[in-house]
Amino acid sequence: MIPWDQRAARVLVRPLVHSPVTPNQLTLFTLLLALAGAGLFAAGDLALSNWGASLFVLARFLDHFDGELARQKGMSSKLGYYLDYAAGALSYGALFLCIGIGLGNLELGRWGIILGLAGAASAVISMFTNLGIDKARDTADEGEAVGYPGFAGFELEDGIYLIAPITWAGWLLPFFVAASIGAAVYCLWTCWSLILIRKQ
């Protein structure tokens, strides 16, 4: 089943189909937006964190637009495929690191940095293992990324949308701890999946 956010992106991106905007430009724009959102968390300020969460969620939603635009314009490419993977990894890596810095200056101390680095490393490693899974399944040449586990039109990745209301409600710290652990577990799952695929 096609995820709900991807369905929405498919409709909302249509005005750009006949514009000079390219899928790769959209990817870079969403990356910059995500990095700006992530950076606001590093200050350890509640108001800035609220804005950071809003920007990051917007960036992750817009992340679906580049692929949909590429399909509708017939502009799918290997560069776009790799760029999309790299943008996702950098976005999540920056988010973990910046939240860790912000919370490290407040409640978590050095554990903020440790969890932030663990989450960032997990995001980057997961990018490489997912690329390996794509290659092993022969989908890389088609420009299609590996999907996340999902149910009823929602993917595991969609959990990131919760960061906005959770941050606004003042529950960023427990969410960050749980997300850092979850990112490490997901990283191990992708590594194990790649090992199993290569054994076949």
Domains of the chain, CATH where assigned? 4-199 (1.20.120.1760)
Q: What burial letters (b/e) apply to 151-188, b meaning 16+ CB within 10 Å?
A: eeeebebbebbebbebbeeeebeebbbebbeebbebbe
At residue 19, the pLDDT reads: 94
Contacts of 150 (CB under 8 A, 6+ apart): 1, 3, 156, 158
- Contact predicate 164/53, CB 8 Å: yes
Report the percent of the chain where pLDDT is more than 70: 92
pLDDT at 148 over 60: no
Structure tokens at 40: 């606001």
> Which among 109, 91, 92 is positioned nearest to 100, based on CA atoms?
109
Residues 96-118: tens digit of each pLDDT: 999 999 999 888 889 999 999 99
Q: How confident is the model at residue 146 (pLDDT cuts 50, 70, 90)?
A: low
User: Across-strand partners of 154?
Assistant: 151
Supply φ then ψ for residue 151, to 5 degrees.
-155, 135
Residues 4-61: tens digit of each pLDDT: 888 898 999 999 999 999 999 999 999 999 999 999 999 999 999 999 999 999 999 9
Structure tokens at 63: 């992340």
Contacts of 82 (CB under 8 A, 6+ apart): 131
**pTM for this structure?**
0.88
